[in-house]
A and B are shown apart, each in its own frame.
Chain A
Amino acid sequence: MKIDPRISLIEERLKGIRRVIAVSSGKGGVGKSLVSSALALTLARRGLRTGLFDMDFTSPASHIILGVGDAQPEEADGIVPPVVHGLKYMSIIHYVHDRASPLRGVDLSNVVTELLAVTIWGKLDFLVIDMPPGISDVVLDVLRLIRKAEFLVVTTPSRLAFETVRKLIDLLLELGVPVLGVIENMKMGSSDRIRREVEGRGLNFWGEVPFDPRLEESIGDAGRLMRTEFGRAIERMAAEKLGIT
């Protein structure tokens, strides 16, 4: 017999969290980290108790977007995440900093389990998870370990991106996992193909975020990010779709 005791702790660690939003995509490079960061900032700025958990363990980016700097967790019968821009923020970068983390599937599963078991989030209205791309280990572990997770899916207008997103959506729908909606990021043309595809599946189309050439300049500055066209679009969508005031 080999029983992993961490699993029993996870439910306890998450019980104070009202909603968990996993920002996901089948494809990399569609803007998940930017959407996660802007969504979490929006929620925190509305006075909601919010956490942001970067689960893209091999390619974390949210710390760069937010300019997390040297903020470090504290140890207190577990790990208490630092508060960054009003968010409780957890990432593997607190431990490996800017070094490479080459992790195989079993290692990724262990990191998910370990951090879920030790992180003390306390009471939160929202925990936003910046997910890695694809439908492999981390997504499967979130589905297994965080039963209350709702998925917000990000795509671009690219047919290549949406083909992988479609697979993720189909999987989530097949499993009966709540899908909050789909955001079409980096919109440049006028095609409504993504909207039709999304609504055709009975899902909520959160909207289009126009390609914003100024977005790159806001990386590292949370305030500036939220003043971009991108930031304002995410804020507007979150307010409308999550019913926050």
Chain B
Amino acid sequence: MAEAVIRTASQIAEREGLIEVTEVNVRLGEIQQVDLEVFKFALSQLKTQELKKARFNIRRAEARFRCRACGCEWLFSADELDEEAREAVHFIPEAAHTFVRCPECGSRDFEFTSGRGVWIESIKGVRE
């Protein structure tokens, strides 16, 4: 994930003609249970030249699901899962459809309304 963020931020910087990136705003979804400190450390280790001075602002996005069958919305917590299911959802969030059911009607047909994956919201920097 960190590698993907650094690579993408570098590509955006190059495309936008930024000689130096000062800020990268990242959202980290909670479905995959990524350790924030480990993620920050990985980002710091992988920084490329144009990102050396960049501040990474990482905001968590809570994991929210909505049942397509009954409309129930709920906050997902991986703590409710056993170790095998937690690991599956960590690597493939869509594995939640295998291990999680709607708390109201029991359906596995639900959508992730928030908290899936990692994404870059914005980048600030200095142009040539």
* CB-based A-B contact count at 8 angstroms: 80
Q: For residue B121, which residue of chain A has the nearest CB?
A: A1
Check: B11 CB closer than 8 A to any chain A CB. Answer: yes
* Complex Cα gap A4–B109 (Å): 24
Tell me which residues from 91 to 132 in chain A have a Cβ below 8 Å from any Cβ of chain B: 92, 95-96, 99-104, 106-108, 110-111, 114-115, 117-118
Q: Tell which of B33-41, B51-59, B75-83, B89-97 binds the partner.
A: B89-97
* Complex Cα gap A77–B1 (Å): 9
Check: A6 CB closer than 8 A to any chain B CB. Answer: yes
* Complex Cα gap A57–B81 (Å): 21
Check: B102 CB closer than 8 A to any chain A CB. Answer: no
**Interface size, B (range):** 20 to 34
Contact status B94-A110, CB under 8 Å: yes
A114 contacts across to B, CB distance below 8 A: 91-94, 117
- Distance between B105 CB and nearest chain A CB, rounded to angstroms: 14
- Distance between B72 CB and nearest chain A CB, rounded to angstroms: 17
B120 contacts across to A, CB distance below 8 A: 1-3, 5
Contact status A6-B117, CB under 8 Å: yes
- In the complex, per-residue mask of A49-85: 1 if CB is within 8 Å of any chain B CB, else 0: 0000000000000000000000000000101000000
* Complex Cα gap A118–B34 (Å): 14
Contact status B8-A102, CB under 8 Å: no
Q: For residue B4, which residue of chain A has the nearest CB?
A: A5
Tell me which residues from 6 to 34 in chain A have a Cβ below 8 Å from any Cβ of chain B: 6-9, 12
Across the interface, A101 reaches (CB within 8 A) one of B5, B91, B94, B111, namely B94
B48 contacts across to A, CB distance below 8 A: none
* Complex Cα gap A6–B117 (Å): 9
